[in-house]
Chains A and B, each alone.
Chain A
Amino acid sequence: MKSTVITTNGLRKVYRGRAAVEQLDLNIGQGEIYGFLGPNGAGKTTTIRMLLGLIQPTSGDIQIFGKELRKHKLQILRRVGSLVESPSYYGHLSAADNLEAIRRILDVPKARIAEVLDIVSLTGEEKRPVKGFSLGMKQRLGIAAALLGSPELLILDEPTNGLDPSGIQEIRSLIKRLPAEYGITVLVSSHLLSEIEQMADTVGIIRQGTMIYQDTIAHLQEQAAGELRLTVSEPEAALKLSSLSGCGGSLQESRIVLPRMSDARVALLVRELVENGHAVYRVEEHRQSLEQFFLQVIEGGIS
């Protein structure tokens, strides 16, 4: 069993009477990329701000590296790197000076600046004022700043938001390298499932401030696997039959649609159909796209 890096218990944040985050239990294991997924306004950023001690939870507790955040905030933050929402930078300063301003607070060796610039491939651009950077470069500078203190945990809030496809690709491959090469645990949030699907090992889906799904990506993909579609000679008659068998199918566009079932069950069903004189033209498994499944989850259609 991997040790956990972040655990939250009944985390709750109320803004002006409205709960932005409600009963949130996060569980993030060491060395994994955890995708924190949810539509805009679901409470991702609020949660992340609470994890970084930027805002106070209304109730509930947060443990990072097995320590209470409230009591050991600075100790914990020393081991955490973060990038929250829109990039923060000092536009009038060069990239190197931006990092230097942070380095002075972290008190790490100067050589670290060149190292992190190299990791995010900004070497050669460090002398330019950051206000002239593209959004992608600013975002990479933000990641460089997050990496400056050699963190064990990296918290990235919407790191690919607003980037063009090549920028997204760059950030994504950068994030995927981190656990493997540096042993960093990554929490990355996004409102795009495809993003998370391509990066994360584990996914937590949040809707209206509540965690509605938390498991591995592989398990999510499995669950998203959809339905069985049968094309037969006389669908209506066949439906009666299979309904009688207790599968609970329905008729859609003269095809029989059945929920997912085991292989043995499918075999049984087909044999029954054939034995009853139906011609079976097609047996298809229709896999719902993960995107559709995600929407279904978000809209509250999944238990």
Chain B
Amino acid sequence: MMWRALSADWLKIRGKGLWFLVFLGPLGLTAMQGLNFGLRYDYLKEQYQADLWGGLLSNVAGFVPIALYLGGTLVCSLIANVEHQMSSWKQLLALPVSRTAVYMAKLLLCLLLLVCSCLLLSAGTLALGLLLGFGIQAIPYADILRLGFASYAGALPIIALQLWLSVSSRNQTFPVAAGITLSLLSLFSMYLSEWMPLNWPVLAWEAESPWLFIASGLLLGLLMILPGAVHFARKDVD
């Protein structure tokens, strides 16, 4: 049942700017580093002499968490807005499909789109590194893949929360404002405890034991789905 809802959602997001956003994030990040390395090529090459690829990855990685937060916020809001816009929830939910399936389909769609973004980020970074002549032999494939996905896992709790907020309120001002606020806070929350979920995307990439934060992100993300799905299944639809 969820797959049928997902297949319908897949159709509905056509022409809604979601795919544009999915491409914009990773390509924007890559382009930014292209500019960074392009302008200061000699200086940076000297600085990262020992590990050119590592240098590139760490530069990109600095922006991945906030890009994930902002991107996740917008993707969730746009997906929810497809139904909010012409009050289609009432039509959708009067169909013979369970609310849980509808909610999970939305979540899955959101997650899939962000997976696309992460893959694009890896591809873009790989292309950039090759373009900068960092050499084929030294390509750290695992790290390039981990670049997007490790932080993604760490960001899951916030993404699940954002979907819940966006689906719950017709007016998207609050959910989007909340998402942006959280994104900005995440820049400063590093000074607080490691146990702040807001920090996990960063820690999932650069902490000494990143797996701890990746696992925590996955776990809390899963837990965050629960209240959202339960609330959605019970709420009155106007």
Contacts and interface: CB of A to CB of B under 8 A. Distances in A.
Nearest to B85: A91
A106 B4 CA distance: 8
Interface in A40-99: 49, 52-56, 74-75, 77-78, 80, 82-93, 97
Given A84-B94, A92-B15, A104 B7 contact: yes
A102 interface: yes
Interface in B58-101: 82, 85-98
A15 B21 CA distance: 40
Contact of A105 (B85, B88, B95, B234): B95
A101 B91 CA distance: 11
Given A104-B7, A104-B8, A105-B4, A89 B97 contact: no
A152 interface: no
Interface string A103-114: 011110000000
A116 interface: no
Contact of A84 (B16, B85, B91, B236): B91
A49 B90 CA distance: 8
Given A54-B236, A88-B91, A101 B97 contact: no
Interface in B1-58: 4-5, 7-8, 11-12, 14-16
B226 interface: no
Interface string B211-238: 0000000000000000000000010110
Nearest to B98: A74
A221 to B, nearest CB: 33
B86 A53 contact: no
Nearest to B93: A54
Contacts of B15: 92-93
Interface residues of B, number: 27
Nearest to A91: B86
A55 B236 contact: yes
A141 to B, nearest CB: 11
B108 to A, nearest CB: 15
A9 B87 CA distance: 29
B96 to A, nearest CB: 4
B86 A87 contact: yes
A25 interface: no
A90 B12 contact: yes
Contacts of B12: 90, 93, 101
A54 B90 contact: yes
Interface centre among A82, A83, A92 (most CB of B within 10 A): A92
A57 to B, nearest CB: 10
B97 A49 contact: no
A105 B8 contact: yes
B90 A107 contact: no
Contact of A101 (B8, B85, B237): B8
Contacts of B89: 88
Contacts of B85: 91
A302 to B, nearest CB: 32
A46 B175 CA distance: 27
A80 to B, nearest CB: 8
Contacts of A100: 11
Contacts of A90: 12, 82, 86, 88
Contacts of A55: 236-237
Contacts of B95: 77, 102, 105-106, 149
A145 interface: yes
B83 to A, nearest CB: 9
Nearest to B3: A104
Interface string B184-222: 000000000000000000000000000000000000000
B88 A88 contact: yes
B128 to A, nearest CB: 34
Given A77-B96, A88-B87, A104-B8, 14 more contacts: A49-B90, A52-B94, A54-B237, A74-B97, A84-B90, A88-B86, A88-B88, A88-B91, A91-B85, A93-B14, A97-B14, A104-B5, A105-B96, A107-B4
8 contacts: A77-B94, A78-B96, A82-B91, A93-B14, A102-B95, A105-B8, A105-B96, A149-B95
Interface of A: 49, 52-56, 74-75, 77-78, 80, 82-93, 97, 100-102, 104-107, 142, 145, 149
